[in-house]
Amino acid sequence: MKKKPLAAAVILLAAAAVLCWFLLRPGAGPGGVSVRVDGQVLSSPVLSPEKKDDLRVHLTLDGKEIADLPFGEAHTVQILQENGFENTLRITGESVRMESANCEGQDCVHMEEVTRDNLETRVMFGMIVCLPHRLSVEVR
């Protein structure tokens, strides 16, 4: 009878160790996502403080914001998920576009870039969406 509580405690301890490993490993954000800006792991979801009336680039994964970046600064952003999904976003001083993705359809890569000029007239307005990777990019 005493073996059952001991086995349950060992299982619980192992589950806690695995959970801690997933939450505390370097370079991985919530849900096993790493966001790299110009090759460096983004340590905070917000890059550069917000300036009044400036556009921002919001990255959302599974409905949770993973990054908030300035629109007017040039950056290469990589979103790496632990399941192997990868997206590369290119932000220039003038536009935002999905440069590459390892999804099958490549619809996000073929979407028109978002600029200040087409923000209100573009079919998807300020959004770029990678449905297979559950990633959305919104300029607002």
Q: In this predicted model, what pLDDT tens digit does every residue of 40-58 receive, in sequence order? A: 999 889 888 766 668 999 9
Q: What pairs with residue 79 in β-bridges?
A: 35, 87
Residue 1 has pLDDT above 50, yes or no: no
Mean pLDDT of the chain: 84
Q: Which CATH superfamily is domain 27-139 in?
A: N-utilization substance G protein NusG, insert domain (2.60.320.10)
- The tokens describing 116, both together, are 């200040």
Rounded distance between C-alpha atoms, residue 138 and residue 54, angstroms: 14
pTM of the model: 0.76
How many C-beta atoms lie closer than 10 Å to residue 125's C-beta?
13
Each residue's pLDDT tens digit, 104-124: 999 999 999 999 999 999 999
- The tokens describing 18, both together, are 């695995």
pLDDT at position 24 = 43
Contacts of 65 (CB under 8 A, 6+ apart): 45, 58, 59
Residues 87, 59: contact at Cβ < 8 Å?
no
